[in-house]
């Protein structure tokens, strides 16, 4: 009987949200996270992985809106990578863009990200949790459990997969770690499933410069199908980091104490999101961030909500790691003496963007009139766009997405 490793990745991100009505007073700006040279190198690799993951997921999916957490995928695969051997391990390193670093360097990077990111902004809720569930009696190697405990702070549970309550036990863990926004990740447990590796990321951020609900009004958004739809468009004028080039406008909107931010990439009239992503490299991304300057900007951004579920098997195969999914050839001999392969990599994501995190009807509209303030950049997100969530000091990308259509929210 062939046995199976399931990697379940739960990436949850809720941002631009607060239940407060008073202005945010976050205190001092965030102190930067100081990384070693090897960790900085790994950030660049993880960001390259982030861009590749989004592009490949869009190509593999029929979804108009695609939102992924490359950090979640990277951490979960990093856990499994520690159990891989031979060519399987080499291929996973190719997919994850790991090169020129030792095993200790890579594991140390994952540990630093998981311990520093959640604490850098007291006004932002960020949690990163890992768990490993194995079938009662299944032999898991001590060294594999130790590296997951030491570097990933993984909760290890032996569980009787034959019991009906086993599914609820795993789902309840996911629900708790995602503030109940992703209540289930599995429907059943197959008889050949031996092991589940699960990562959950939850983020709730408060805009540094909040939108006023009274300024939100219905406006048109031209979607990927070139159809105009009515959306609830938020509005504000404030100081943001901004730049533009021949391809797009770029706006950086911080949360809390400025540790985290969302960068929105709005293509010019002659470009599409596909054009932007096809030409977007880590080098261009870093150059764009460097070119940004603080200035007054008129911002119009639609409220939106996206829920995705992806099975990433084919995506990861095209990224360079097909052996891991081969029942005959996969080598995860550092996990167990019993032969294993990956059956499924499941990735669920959830994101909402609004003024305060609550549903609100439009009350009044303030139309943007360019001629009244010609020196201010105007950033009107009324067509498909790309957005990236990152931590500022390290530059690591937590989430990245492409929005092709917005339903009124």
Cα 234-237-240 angle, rounded to 5 deg: 105
Do 170 and 188 belong to one domain?
yes
Q: Taking a C-beta distance cutoff of 8 angstroms, is the pair 97, 49 a contact?
A: yes
CA distances from 134 to 5, 166, 251, 331 (A): 9, 11, 45, 18
Lowest mean pLDDT among 36-50, 67-81, 365-379: 365-379
- Reduced to 3 states (helix: H, G, I; strand: E, B; else coil), residue 28 is coil
CA dihedral over 220, 387, 345, 196, signed as positive or negative: negative
Mean pLDDT calculated for residue range 106-112: 98
Provide CB contacts within 8 A for 83, sequence distance 6+: 141, 144, 332, 334, 335
Q: Taking a C-beta distance cutoff of 8 angstroms, is the pair 297, 334 a contact?
A: no
Q: Can you point out the beta strands (E) in 106-188? A: 125-135, 155-159
Do 118 and 23 belong to one domain?
yes
Q: Is 13 contained in some domain?
A: yes
Residue 252 belongs to a domain with what CATH number? 2.30.39.10
Of the candidates 92, 28, 104, 366, the residue with the CA atom closest to the CA atom of residue 214: 366
Confidence band of 8 (pLDDT split at 50, 70, 90)? low
State the Cα–Cα distance between residues 11 and 181, nearest whole angstrom. Answer: 11
Question: Pick the residue with more confidence: 193 or 296?
Answer: 296
Question: Pick the residue with more confidence: 21 or 138?
Answer: 138
- Reduced to 3 states (helix: H, G, I; strand: E, B; else coil), residue 402 is strand
State the Cα–Cα distance between residues 45 and 48, nearest whole angstrom. Answer: 5
Average pLDDT, rounded, for the chain: 87
| For the chain, the helix, strand and coil percentages under 3-state DSSP, each to the nearest 5 | 30, 30, 40
pLDDT at 358: 24
Residue 93 belongs to a domain with what CATH number? 3.30.497.10
Do 199 and 120 belong to one domain?
yes
> pTM of the prediction?
0.92
Do 241 and 107 belong to one domain?
no
State the Cα–Cα distance between residues 170 and 172, nearest whole angstrom. Answer: 5
pLDDT at 206: 86
Do 317 and 388 belong to one domain?
no
Confidence band of 10 (pLDDT split at 50, 70, 90)? low
Q: Going by DSSP bridges, is the β-strand pair 228-244/193-204 parallel, antiparallel, or unpaired?
A: unpaired
Do 236 and 125 belong to one domain?
no
Domains held by the chain: number: 2
Do 272 and 135 belong to one domain?
no
Do 143 and 242 belong to one domain?
no
Q: Taking a C-beta distance cutoff of 8 angstroms, is the pair 324, 316 a contact?
A: yes
**Does the pLDDT of residue 25 top 60, yes or no?**
no
CA dihedral over 162, 167, 172, 177, signed as positive or negative: positive
Range of the domain at 260: 213-302+362-403
């Amino acid at each position: 009987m062939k046995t199976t490793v399931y990697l379940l990745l739960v990436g949850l991100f809720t941002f631009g949200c607060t239940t407060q009505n008073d202005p945010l007073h976050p205190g001092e700006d965030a102190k930067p996270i100081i990384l070693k040279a090897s960790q900085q190198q790994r950030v660049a690799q993880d960001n390259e992985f982030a861009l590749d993951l989004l592009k490949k997921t869009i190509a593999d999916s029929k979804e108009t809106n695609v939102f992924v957490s490359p950090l979640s995928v990277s951490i979960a695969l990093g856990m499994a990578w520690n159990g891989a051997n031979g060519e399987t391990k080499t291929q996973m390193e190719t997919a994850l863009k790991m090169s020129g670093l030792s095993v200790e360097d890579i594991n140390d990077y994952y540990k630093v990200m998981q311990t520093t990111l959640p604490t850098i902004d007291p006004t932002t809720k960020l949690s990163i949790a890992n768990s490993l569930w194995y079938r009662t009696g299944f032999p898991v190697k001590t060294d594999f459990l130790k590296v997951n405990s030491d570097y990933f702070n993984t909760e290890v549970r032996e569980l009787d997969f034959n019991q009906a309550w086993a599914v609820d036990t795993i789902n309840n863990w996911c629900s708790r770690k995602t503030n109940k926004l992703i209540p289930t990740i599995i429907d059943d447990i197959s008889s050949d499933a031996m092991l589940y590796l699960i990562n959950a990321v939850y983020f709730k951020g408060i805009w540094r410069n909040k939108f006023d609900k009274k300024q939100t009004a219905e406006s048109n958004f031209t979607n990927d199908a070139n159809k105009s739809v009515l959306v609830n468009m938020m509005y504000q004028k404030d100081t943001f980091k901004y730049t533009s080039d021949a391809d797009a406008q770029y706006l950086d909107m911080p949360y809390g104490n400025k540790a985290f931010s969302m960068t929105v990439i709005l293509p010019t009239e002659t470009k599409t999101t596909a054009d932007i992503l096809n030409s977007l490299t880590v080098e261009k991304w870093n150059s764009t961030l460097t070119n940004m300057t603080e200035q007054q900007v008129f911002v119009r951004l639609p409220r939106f909500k996206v829920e995705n579920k992806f099975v990433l098997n084919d995506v990861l195969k095209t990224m360079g790691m097909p052996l891991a999914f081969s029942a005959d050839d996969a080598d995860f001999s550092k996990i167990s003496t019993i032969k294993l392969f990956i059956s499924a990599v499941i990735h669920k994501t959830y994101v909402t963007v609004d003024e305060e995190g609550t549903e609100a009807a439009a009350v009044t509209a303030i139309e943007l009139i360019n001629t009244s303030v010609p020196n201010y950049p105007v950033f009107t997100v009324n067509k498909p766009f790309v957005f990236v969530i990152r931590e500022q000091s390290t530059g690591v990308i937590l989430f990245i997405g492409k929005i092709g259509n917005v339903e009124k929210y």
